[in-house]
Structure 1
Amino acid sequence: MNPAEFTPSKWTFLFLMLAAMMILMGGAAVAPALPLISAAFPDASETSISLIVTLPALAIAITGLFLGMLSDKIGKIRVLAISVAVFTLAGSSGYYLNSIPAILAGRFILGVGIAGIICTTSALIVCYYDGLTRARVLGYQAAAMGVGVLILETSGGLLAGISWRAAFLIYLLGIVILAGVLLTMREPVRKYEEIRAAPGTTVPAPGEKFPVTPLLLAYITLFMGNLLFFLMPTKFPFLIAHMDAARIMGENTALTAGIFLGIGGCASAILGIFYGRIAERFHRYTILTVTLLAFGLGLCILGFATSLLLVGVAVVLVGIGEGLLMPTILTWIAAVTPRQFLGRAMGGFSVSLNIGQFASALAVVPVIAIAVTYNNMFLAFGGIALVLAVPYALAIIKEKYYPAVRTSAPLPFATRK
């Protein structure tokens, strides 16, 4: 079969979603085992133990762009297969390694594997699907990421109940995914290559350039959105710990925090499932305005929250923001990037995604020093999110009332009138 004739099947879709489940799993799967690992290595510092969770994200930020460019050169399926193999071997290495430095080296290599998975799965979805089908699949991908964190972190916790080493075995799921990649996926071809492959035709590759400016704006939006979102897993439990209302289940406020974070994750996953319908009806500027408003309102409500009802409303709003952010940025990248540059563009996506996570932890330090309380900190970041929504709200007005001044190609999901 000519590669141009390949049509993704339901099995292709399934394994793309399973691969997407791995994207946010990097450190989360073994997080429940950290106290046990600390006890097993009493001479190791708390900082080095915490790197077991955070180091993969650093590796993704460092290597994501390079792996994206590599996938453009040698093929996305090849990079994806190698990345899943690396994910499986490096992820499970903690089961048999006997020192913290060795385990940390394995975690860094794990991050390299995850970076390759992020770049290639997103690029393959863009290559395999078009139009509203693509928007729906990207929404399903965002939902799969959220479900993956929920399921795999829970599974890691159950395995940690056996032993801290057993928690690392959750990464062996990569074996199933690798088999699916090899059996159900084919390398997509560039559109001009399909034309050239036709008998008797010779069409040169178009002189398209890498769209730096529009992608930079998309990356900045993703960076800021992720910076805001990661306040939830890192600082929300501390807010809950200081709330009297959160002691409804006793002094174990961690359980209360976990339940509410799970509610937010469910909201994010549901939005991902319905994202295709949302993208069909609304312009991406509208969606991003709603995204940042949801972040802003949710974080501001946490700033004033004194009851669990308000906390529930807040986490749902933040979950809605995250559920809209990821697929919207991915459809934006797909709309402005020529196919031959998709791997590189998705590499930038993976870098922005993970730098936002790191920057969230750094940005909190000066803000909490000024704000003093966690309520005030969330209120401050909520205000920042509301301010960030303003440029996109103005862009909506410009698109609606001044269409003649557009300088770029029409955007794919225009608002219905």
Structure 2
Amino acid sequence: MLAAMLILMGGAAIAPALPLISEAFPDASDAAVALIVTLPALAIALTGVFIGALSDRIGKIPVLVASVAIFTIAGSSGFYLTSLYAILVGRFILGIGIAGITCTTSSLIVCYYEGATRTRVLGYQAAAMGIGVLILEVSGGLLAGISWRAAFLIYLVGVVILAGVLLTMKEPVLPSIGRNTVASDEKFPVAPLLAGYSTLFLGSMLFFLMPIKFPYFIAGMDAARVLGENTALTSGVFLGIMGCAASFMGLFYGRLAWRFHRYTILALTFLLFGIGYCSLGLATSLAAVAFAVICIGFGNGILMPTILTWIAAVTPRQFLGRASGGFSVALNIGQFASTLAIASVTAIAVTYGNLFLMFGCVAFVLALPYLLAMIRAKHALPQAVKSGKVAND
């Protein structure tokens, strides 16, 4: 769970410092500075599947140990590197570490637990990701108040987590087919996984609008100066509130998952994103901002475990590392694509408020297919029960 804290905000832990970094490198474009947050996502997208396959071959714990070490060293490199381009190289290497953490923590949970317990623990993983948002973003905001370079020191938390991994975690014992051979009747489930990956890609692209543009939105909001001129701290606090909301939903995800179909949960995810971003676009007070970030946090808190549960349900164990690698790829391609989408939409939106409104409307549109699938599933279930062909997916 502690390692899982690093998944979601590992690349964006210094998001509150982005306005300060823009000032430190005045010749760099906003898009170049934004790469500090999103470049790790590109690295994960390029390496995630390969690292996942490697964890299937040599073991998940060795890959996790190496990945946390890379996270710590490369993440903190921005503290002492002087060139923006050198910092960006360090951010790319950081992404390789996050890819390994994402693949191994997700697949280890599926290996360690079964049934309802697995669903509940996947919810706890989502809660851990939310707590990671809280700790990393608020701490990043506090350190950015000292200097933008100090914000990179937050990655030293990896030292503590690395010690915990080495002292407490063991490689799971899998069936003999898990490592060496593949059962003839079990194949890698491409089609079901692509559907889950596509959903995660869209949700991730929406969610990462927050760490990329929210600090700039707060910096231009007069009401945000309630904590002083250090708006990096204010944005870090609100991003931390968003993380708390995600943690809250993760803790109760097990109960939610057993009461509602995944399509219902995914429809709710995009509806919450839509409500949150539209509220943020119209916000003129900190109370409205708080409501908006809580809605977005709720949405993200149920998105991650839903996709992970989906992957666990359709993937044979010998393919878990590869499937989890695909999870990390979809998650982070969405993050990187978010930068490209934002750059395109910003030219039309002009203001950050309009930008959030436009993304909120997109989220409402994305909820429609899942609402339709939910209705179809409700109609199909009674017929399947009557025919005795209900399968537990």
Q: Distance in 2 between matches of 1:40 and 1:246?
A: 22
Query: How do 1:323-362 residues align onto structure 2 when only pairs under 5 Å count?
Result: 323-362=301-340
Partner of 1:88: 72
Given residue 270 of structure 2, which amino acid in structure 1 is its aligned partner?
L
- What's the offset of the Cα at 1:36? 7.2
Contact 1:132 1:279 in 2 (8 A): no
Q: How many residues align?
A: 389
Q: What are structure 2's unaligned runs of at least 5 residues?
A: none
Query: How do 1:395-410 residues align onto structure 2 when only pairs under 5 Å count?
Result: 395-403=373-381, 404=383, 410=391
Identity %: 71
Q: Residue deviations 1:142-197, cap 9 Å, x none? A: 12112113213333455556666654443333233233323322222434549x9x
Question: Are positions 1:152 and 2:136 aligned together?
Answer: yes
Q: Given the superposition, is the C-alpha separation of residues 51 and 304 from structure 1 closer, same or farther in structure 2, using an over 3 Å criterion?
A: closer
Partner of 1:415: none
Partner of 1:64: 48
Q: Distance in 2 between matches of 1:204 and 1:348?
A: 19
Q: Distance in 2 between matches of 1:45 and 1:93?
A: 21
Query: How do 1:182-331 residues align onto structure 2 when only pairs under 5 Å count?
Result: 182-191=166-175, 193=177, 205-240=183-218, 256-331=234-309
Q: Distance in 2 between matches of 1:59 and 1:126?
A: 25
Contact 2:122 2:305 in 1 (8 A): yes
Given residue 121 of structure 2, which amino acid in structure 1 is its aligned partner?
V
Of 261-270 and 29-38, more deviation after overlay is shown by 29-38
Q: Residue deviations 1:38-92, cap 9 Å, x none? A: 7888887776655443322221121111111111122212211221222233233
Given residue 264 of structure 1, which amino acid in structure 2 is its aligned partner?
M
Q: Given the superposition, is the C-alpha separation of residues 409 and 339 from structure 1 closer, same or farther in structure 2, using an over 3 Å criterion?
A: farther
Question: Which residue among 339, 347, 367 is the counterpart of 1:389?
Answer: 367
Contact 1:88 1:172 in 2 (8 A): yes
Partner of 1:172: 156
Q: Given the superposition, is the C-alpha separation of residues 212 and 229 from structure 1 closer, same or farther in structure 2, using an over 3 Å criterion?
A: same
Partner of 2:126: 142
Contact 1:25 1:152 in 2 (8 A): yes
Q: Residue deviations 1:112-139, cap 9 Å, x none? A: 1111010011000011011121112111
Q: Secondary structure at the match of 2:188?
A: coil
Question: Are positions 1:130 and 2:138 aligned together?
Answer: no
Question: Are positions 1:108 and 2:95 aligned together?
Answer: no
Q: Given the superposition, is the C-alpha separation of residues 111 and 360 from structure 1 closer, same or farther in structure 2, using an over 3 Å criterion?
A: same
Given residue 248 of structure 2, which amino acid in structure 1 is its aligned partner?
I
Question: Which residue among 78, 99, 102 is the counterpart of 1:118?
Answer: 102
Q: Distance in 2 between matches of 1:32 and 1:302?
A: 17
Of 112-121 and 178-187, more deviation after overlay is shown by 178-187
Bigger radius of gyration among the two: 1
Of 314-323 and 177-186, more deviation after overlay is shown by 177-186
- What's the offset of the Cα at 1:304? 3.7
- What's the offset of the Cα at 1:105? 2.8
Q: Distance in 2 between matches of 1:71 and 1:180?
A: 19
- What's the offset of the Cα at 1:251? 6.8
Q: Secondary structure at the match of 1:24?
A: helix
Partner of 1:9: none
Q: Residue deviations 1:318-361, cap 9 Å, x none? A: 11111111111111111111111111111111111111112122
Q: Secondary structure at the match of 2:187?
A: coil
> Scaled by the length of structure 1, what TM-score is found?
0.81
Partner of 1:199: none
Q: Secondary structure at the match of 2:8?
A: coil
Q: Secondary structure at the match of 2:4?
A: helix
- What's the offset of the Cα at 1:375? 3.5
Given residue 150 of structure 1, which amino acid in structure 2 is its aligned partner?
L
Q: Residue deviations 1:381-405, cap 9 Å, x none? A: 2222222222222222222221346
Q: Distance in 1 between matches of 2:183 and 2:288?
A: 56
- What's the offset of the Cα at 1:268? 1.2
Given residue 356 of structure 1, which amino acid in structure 2 is its aligned partner?
G
Given residue 266 of structure 1, which amino acid in structure 2 is its aligned partner?
C
Q: Secondary structure at the match of 1:71?
A: helix
Q: Distance in 2 between matches of 1:386 and 1:37?
A: 33
Q: Residue deviations 1:228-279, cap 9 Å, x none? A: 1122233334445565665666776655544433322221111111111211
Of 336-345 and 255-264, more deviation after overlay is shown by 255-264
Of 157-166 and 128-137, more deviation after overlay is shown by 157-166
Question: Are positions 1:53 and 2:37 aligned together?
Answer: yes
> Scaled by the length of structure 2, what TM-score is found?
0.85
Q: Given the superposition, is the C-alpha separation of residues 379 and 103 from structure 1 closer, same or farther in structure 2, using an over 3 Å criterion?
A: closer
